[in-house]
């Protein structure tokens, strides 16, 4: 993600399903750049997309957000899921999850 962010590319859908790990070399690859955008680092975004369990609070609230920060939030959720095997925030549906 550092490479992408250094080149002002925001992924906007970081999740477990979009991470590949090559078994022999342990090289990690990020896939599915369908929601990605290229923006200057000082520009806020106002398109709200992604996977609900990984969304940053500002995206859930539908307020403008910095893309890099939202990606970092998603990486934190991803790390939590990889370490603990469950999501830190859960709900019976998306609305419950957002609360």
- Catalytic residue annotation: 13
Domain ranges of the chain: 2-98
Helix (H, G, I), strand (E, B) or coil at 69: helix
Question: Using one digit for the tens of pLDDT, what is the confidence trace for 9-48?
Answer: 999 999 999 999 999 999 999 999 999 999 998 899 999 9
Considering the four listed CATH numbers 1.10.510.10, 3.40.605.10, 3.30.2130.30, 1.10.287.1400, the one that applies to the domain covering 2-98 is: 1.10.510.10
Q: What is the DSSP letter of 10?
A: E
| Residue at token pair 């469950």 | 86
* Rounded CA Rg of the chain: 14
Helix or strand holding residue 20 (H, E): strand 19-21
pTM for the model stands at: 0.90
Please say whether the beta carbons of 46 and 67 come within 8 A. Answer: no
pLDDT of res. 49 = 92
């Amino acid at each position: 993600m550092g490479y992408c962010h250094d080149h002002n590319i925001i992924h906007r859908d970081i999740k477990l399903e979009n991470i590949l790990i090559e078994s022999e070399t342990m090289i990690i690859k990020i896939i599915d750049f369908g929601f990605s955008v290229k923006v200057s680092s000082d520009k806020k975004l106002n398109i709200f997309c992604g996977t609900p369990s990984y969304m940053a609070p500002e995206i859930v609230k539908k307020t403008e957000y910095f893309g890099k920060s939202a990606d970092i939030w998603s990486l934190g959720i991803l790390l939590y899921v990889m370490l603990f095997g469950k999501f830190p925030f859960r709900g019976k549906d998306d609305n419950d999850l957002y609360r």
